[in-house]
């Protein structure tokens, strides 16, 4: 049996020891222009191209760390009949699809895992079903390759996402079951739905939650994570008496849709470097940055700060900003932010992954001492990342960015080494 993994994520940049991925499958193309918006897409994707691009991300990570696939982990746990029954009961109750229970229970674990992700096609065996324009009785999880959102490793625990859209809630149920029941993982899950103080206005998604340091959380609030969701996290931190914690909250615009999460405008690159979308993070604007300080289980202050960058500096994280889209033209900054130009995923301090298409952002990274390495060269063995102190692994990205996310969105780290600050 494989060695157990204790969940441990105390920074955004510690050397990556294990990560969960989900390679996009037919659920991505199981949509039409008519239902794309409901699926939270602004366009439909070409699966063949998206998978080819995604294989660069997974191929690089396979070489650098331990990787796990959601579908395989799900198949593992539902091979246990009790776990299978428990998960199906939750899904069928939540989505009001109890009529599917018999069909789903009849499937073997691998086929059931596939259908829970890719969707269950409606059997047109009654007039009502025949006239129904829906193709699926259980909808596909079009967004699941963005594994970041449904579950977040925060220190030793896994915070289960309370998704802003019901179309994604099954992702959270699946991830919660994986961490609750898979024999590999040692952790505790924390789910807002299980809280006695839960309200329907509370939502939390992983793209908004950044573990800056073991005592600092940066959280975005906007279309996907609400103040009520952040209050849930606050309540959990208040229970950790004897510790000082800081929550830095960044308000986000509701439009355009590229601002859905904090990691679309701000990510950590190294112990002394961060990536920022300058107009929102550094320039004067109407979006507040709020600092909540917790000591010994009590909130001792809530105050507005100048900006997120300054707040981190005041807490001892003196970071140099690298500007998404470069320094020359705000139009270029806006274009590259739209295609996840600020969304980097760290595999170690000063070692990150991002989209090659954002050429002005990549130029800025190069000016700040990062070597630009092509993902395809690493996979083929032409380049060894160990030969470089600071680098960006550049992914092809013509199709994946159209789904609305980058390398951080597509990764759910579960273990990192400690960082020497």
357-371 b/e with 16+ CB inside 10 Å = b? bbebbbebbeebebb
Whether 101 is in a domain gets the answer yes
User: 305 by DSSP, 3-state: which?
Assistant: strand
Rounded Cα gap, residues 38 and 87, in angstroms: 25
Per-residue confidence band for 381, with pLDDT thresholds at 50, 70 and 90: very high
Note the pLDDT of residue 399.
87
Percent helix, strand and coil across the chain, each rounded to 5?
Answer: 35, 25, 40
Domain with 256 in it: 5-416
Rounded Cα gap, residues 181 and 165, in angstroms: 25
- Span 111-165, pLDDT tens digits: 999 999 999 988 877 777 777 777 888 999 999 999 999 999 999 999 999 999 8
Preceding amide of 256 cis, omega within 30: yes
pLDDT of 233 over the 90 cut: yes
- Span 37-96, pLDDT tens digits: 554 455 678 889 999 999 999 999 999 999 999 999 999 999 999 999 999 999 999 898
Of 254, 261, 234, which is closest to residue 245 (Cα–Cα)?
A: 234
Per-residue confidence band for 401, with pLDDT thresholds at 50, 70 and 90: confident
Whether 421 is in a domain gets the answer no
Stretch 225-239: mean pLDDT, rounded?
A: 92
Note the pLDDT of residue 32.
62
Note the pLDDT of residue 31.
65
Rounded Cα gap, residues 199 and 197, in angstroms: 6
Q: Is residue 247 a contact partner of residue 236, using CB atoms and an 8 Å limit?
A: no
Whether 269 is in a domain gets the answer yes
- Span 312-353, pLDDT tens digits: 999 999 999 999 999 989 999 999 999 999 999 999 999 999
Note the pLDDT of residue 39.
47
Inter-CA distances, 117 with 7, 70, 85, 138, 246, Å: 24, 10, 17, 9, 36
Torsion on CA atoms 262, 268, 273, 275, rounded to nearest 10: -40
Residue 38 or 219, more confident: 219
Rounded Cα gap, residues 68 and 216, in angstroms: 27
**Residues 6+ positions from 161 with CB-CB distance below 8 Å:** 149, 150, 151, 152, 171, 172, 175, 204, 205, 206
Token pair, residue 223, equals 């279309």
Of 307, 309, 319, 322, which is closest to residue 275 (Cα–Cα)?
A: 322
Task: Give CB contacts under 8 A, 24+ apart, made by 193-198.
Answer: 193/160, 193/162, 195/232, 195/235, 197/232, 197/235, 198/232
Rounded Cα gap, residues 34 and 42, in angstroms: 11
pLDDT of 105 over the 90 cut: yes
Residue 121 or 373, more confident: 373
Inter-CA distances, 89 with 99, 210, 322, 388, Å: 11, 32, 47, 50
Stretch 351-371: mean pLDDT, rounded?
A: 98
Note the pLDDT of residue 402.
83
Tally of domains in the chain: 1
Whether 384 is in a domain gets the answer yes
Note the pLDDT of residue 132.
74
Angle (deg, nearest 10), helices 109-118 and 70-77: 130
Note the pLDDT of residue 35.
59
Note the pLDDT of residue 239.
82
Whether 295 is in a domain gets the answer yes
Residue 378 or 397, more confident: 378
Rounded to the nearest integer, the mean pLDDT of the chain is 93
Note the pLDDT of residue 64.
97
Rounded Cα gap, residues 184 and 77, in angstroms: 10
Read off the CATH number of the domain in which 223 is found. 3.75.10.10
Per-residue confidence band for 195, with pLDDT thresholds at 50, 70 and 90: confident
């Amino acid at each position: 049996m494989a060695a157990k993994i204790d969940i441990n994520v105390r920074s955004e940049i510690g050397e990556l020891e294990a990560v969960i991925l989900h390679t996009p499958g037919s659920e991505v193309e199981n949509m039409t222009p008519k239902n794309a918006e409901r699926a939270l897409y602004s366009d439909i994707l070409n699966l063949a191209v998206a998978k080819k691009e995604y294989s660069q991300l997974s191929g690089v990570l396979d070489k650098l760390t331990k990787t796990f696939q959601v579908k395989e982990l799900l198949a593992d746990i539902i091979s246990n009949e009790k776990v299978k029954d428990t998960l199906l009961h939750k899904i069928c109750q939540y989505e009001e699809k109890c009529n599917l229970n018999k069909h789903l229970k009849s499937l073997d674990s691998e086929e059931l895992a596939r259908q829970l992700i890719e969707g269950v096609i409606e059997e047109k065996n009654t007039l009502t079903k025949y006239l129904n324009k829906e193709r699926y009785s259980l909808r596909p999880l079009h967004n699941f390759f963005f594994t970041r959102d449904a579950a977040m490793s925060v220190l030793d625990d896994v915070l289960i996402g309370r998704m802003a859209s019901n179309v994604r809630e099954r992702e959270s149920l699946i991830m919660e079951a994986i961490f609750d029941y898979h024999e590999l993982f040692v952790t505790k899950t924390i789910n807002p739905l299980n809280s006695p103080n839960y309200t329907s206005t509370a939502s939390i998604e992983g793209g908004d939650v950044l573990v800056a340091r073991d005592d600092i959380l940066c959280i975005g609030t906007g279309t996907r994570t609400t103040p009520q969701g952040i209050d849930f996290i606050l309540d959990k931190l208040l229970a950790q008496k004897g510790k000082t914690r800081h929550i830095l909250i960044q308000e986000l615009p509701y439009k355009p849709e590229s601002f859905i999460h904090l990691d679309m405008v701000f990510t950590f690159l190294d112990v002394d470097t961060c990536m920022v979308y300058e107009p929102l993070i550094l320039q004067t604007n109407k979006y507040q940055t709020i600092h909540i300080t917790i000591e010994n289980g009590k909130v001792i202050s809530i105050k507005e700060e100048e900006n997120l960058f300054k707040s981190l500096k005041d807490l001892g994280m003196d970071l140099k900003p690298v500007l998404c889209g470069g320094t020359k033209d705000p139009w270029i900054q806006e274009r590259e932010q739209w295609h996840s130009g600020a969304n980097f995923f760290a595999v170690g301090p000063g070692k990150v992954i991002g989209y090659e298409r954002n050429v002005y952002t990549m130029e800025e990274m190069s000016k700040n001492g990062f070597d630009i390495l092509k993902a395809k060269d690493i996979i083929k063995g032409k380049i060894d990342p160990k030969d470089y102190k600071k680098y960006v692994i550049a992914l092809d990205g013509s199709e994946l960015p159209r789904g609305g996310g980058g390398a951080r969105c597509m990764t759910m780290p579960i273990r990192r080494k400690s960082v020497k600050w």
